Structure 1
């Protein structure tokens, strides 16, 4: 009985197929040249590692790359990036809200410089941590990002808010 096209997907194929014989040296034998240099060996894309028989003939990447992050780590970094964005908005709103009171305490130029440094601080911290911890463990990156989010809370917004006097 010949299998139909629907049954082909459920069958293991022909048992005499030479590509299915894992133990056969003739099926896996690859022609190699004695004068083949490391530069001529096939290279893998970044992040891939050759395993199994013949893996030593595959050229390894020459430079160190940052470890790849998983989906959960990327999601957490995105959430922390959103927190830093909200912190930046909080510094803008809270800082502009305190402008009238700050004119009595400091020079207007000093207030403007300190306000815009405070507004830029969350973005600078976030990007600097991502850059400096690129080759570190994931928990180190998260520790610095969470610590920065706590350190850079927009206190003028938290204490005064947007409510009029």
Structure 2
């Protein structure tokens, strides 16, 4: 039984036996190992499991002794910020409305534009225009995946300015509404 009663609800009787049989998870190499420096652990310690507290203490002492190692650097990747996530949601909604606007505007303008273009050409250009906002949003997210947030947001702002559904805006849906 656990000393903390709140942890009792989260465990089953016999979990300790399962924990003892579970293999140790693989860990990423420490910066010292990645740089090619050997650790203080001997091969016998690694095979037997060794004392992890001693090994981590030696790695910590090496990090303190190494002037090139920045202790404030976090090795974990940072997630997306809250403001960026909200802006991505807003721009996703704008691009969805743009897609709907191009579809409604394109269908509404079809009868007026048929005297200038044959039907297959008009339909192909209309579907390209309908898919353009979704493609821009997807391409921006994919191409700026590892980049800075301001680059991603600025690319979405540029796309929002370029892809305005003008047939819907100017003609009010092309008379379809």
* TM-score, L = length of structure 2: 0.58
Deviation at 1:161, TM superposition (A): 1.0
2:83 alignment partner in structure 1: 72
SS of 2:133 mapped into structure 1:
helix
Distance 2:166 2:94 in 1: 14
Distance 1:100 1:65 in 2: 57
1:87 alignment partner in structure 2: 98
Distance 1:117 1:126 in 2: 14
Q: Which is richer in helix? A: 2
Matched-pair contact (CA < 8 Å) for 1:88–1:123: yes
2:119 alignment partner in structure 1: 108
Distance 1:94 1:74 in 2: 30
Deviation at 1:54, TM superposition (A): 4.7
* TM-score, L = length of structure 1: 0.62
Tell me, yes or no, if structure 1 residue 145 matches structure 2 residue 153: no
- 1:73/1:81 Cα in 2 relative to 1: closer, same or farther (>3 Å)? same
SS of 1:105 mapped into structure 2:
coil
Residues 34-86 of structure 1: CA deviation (Å, up to 9, x unaligned): 2267xx9xxxxxxxxxxxx75957xxxxxx99752111111110000000000
SS of 2:120 mapped into structure 1:
helix
Show structure 2 runs of 5+ residues with no match: 1-39, 50-55, 61-74
- 1:56/1:141 Cα in 2 relative to 1: closer, same or farther (>3 Å)? farther
Show structure 1 runs of 5+ residues with no match: 1-31, 41-52, 58-63
Say what the alpha-carbon RMSD is for the aligned residues: 2.9
